[in-house]
Amino acid sequence: MKVSAIKDGTVIDHIPARSLFKVISILKLDRVENPVTFGNNLESVKLGKKAIIKISDVFFDEKEINKIALVAPEAKLNIIRNYEVVEKKVVTVPDEVVGIVKCYNPRCITNHENIITRFSIVSKKEVLLRCHYCDKIIDQDHIEIIR
């Protein structure tokens, strides 16, 4: 699939295909007014099937973009200015995750009261989160993003 190049903005590549919509949620791309194009289930040697997102005129700060490492730890960012890639970035898993992820444990207090969720990172390589409240560990496949 050919997606037209953008003049200025951000291209996020190497997103696992199953994580595309989670990345869109985390970055709230469903609410931006700027042009956004995305492709899914593209062939990738590394990931099998991957997704790519192009957002015009949006540049993320590091803290914001690192949140997607939870579901797309191998994502690569290309910062585009005047059709040129001016910077390449990788994402890193943050040390603490606040208010993005829903606790998987139905018996956790955060699923019953209006509480901002908090997780510490047990492992960054294979992403594992520990709920600050109920202590349960969530793996990458069970990360559910709060809308």
Task: Enumerate residues 88-127 that contact another protein by CB under 8 A.
Answer: 105, 107-110, 112-115
Least Å distance, CB 102 to another protein, is: 13
DSSP state at residue 18: G
137 near another protein, rule: CB under 8 A: yes
Residue with tokens 């997606």: 3
Give which of 60, 111, 52 is closest to 87, Cα–Cα: 60
For another protein, the closer CB: 105 or 140: 105
**Angle of CA points 25, 53, 4, to nearest 5°:** 145
Burial bucket for residue 124 (CB in 10 Å: 0-12, 13-18, 19+) = middle
Phi-psi region of 62 (alpha: psi -120 to 50; beta: other; left: phi over 0): alpha
Least Å distance, CB 69 to another protein, is: 22
Q: What are phi and psi of 34, to 5 degrees?
A: -70, 160
141 near another protein, rule: CB under 8 A: no
For another protein, the closer CB: 61 or 106: 106
Least Å distance, CB 114 to another protein, is: 8
For another protein, the closer CB: 101 or 131: 131
Applying CB under 8 A, which part among 17-25, 52-60, 89-97, 135-143 lies near another protein?
135-143
Euclidean distance between the first and final Cα of the chain, in Å?
A: 29
Applying CB under 8 A, which part among 10-18, 59-67, 68-76, 132-140 lies near another protein?
132-140
Binding site for another protein (CB under 8 A): 105, 107-110, 112-115, 131-137
